[in-house]
Amino acid sequence: MTTRTATEVAPPAETFQVEIANSNLTPGATVRLTYPGSNQRGGFYLLYRWNGEVWGPPVIQLESDQNGEPMQPRTLDTGPRSDDDDPPWTVEDYGVSGVGPDLVVLPETLEAGFWRICNTSRGENCPQFSVST
């Protein structure tokens, strides 16, 4: 009998309007995202990791190439917080429209497993991908 770790158990399949060019990636790879039609969205993205049962909180913020060069990934403070605390991170987003592609560079330190990438202004439609090292 083969035992699998939590991150080896794939998340449930979903259908997304955002298309990801390659769903099998490595750390440091460029993610190519396209949008049907002429969709409005922001220039920032969040990465969520699958823990084998549910999607965890956002752990990394990335910027697309739509504002020039991509910024460095930023690890988000996802520790315990009270309702009175300021948000763990803030960013002044900017608008992007059109079909894309939006290019987003994954961190070189991204751990193997299943991930999803969500636009910060369009929380739905988060395409999934896997990372192998």
- Of residues 65 and 55, more confidence is placed in 55
- Of residues 47 and 74, more confidence is placed in 47
Q: How far is CA 17 from CA 8, 37, 99, 110, in A?
A: 25, 10, 11, 25
Report the C-alpha gap between 85 and 19 in whole angstroms.
35
How do residues 94-107 score in pLDDT, each as one tens digit?
778 888 888 888 98
> Which CATH number goes with the domain that contains 120?
2.60.40.10
Structural domain span for residue 39: 6-77+93-131
Q: Is residue 82 part of a domain?
A: no
Count of domains in the chain?
1
Q: Is residue 113 part of a domain?
A: yes
pLDDT of residue 24 exceeding 60, the answer is yes
Q: Would you say 74 and 58 are in contact if contact means Cβ atoms under 8 Å apart? A: no
Q: Is residue 83 part of a domain?
A: no
Check residue 81 and give its pLDDT. 47
Q: Is residue 62 part of a domain?
A: yes
Report the C-alpha gap between 43 and 71 in whole angstroms.
11
Check residue 26 and give its pLDDT. 94
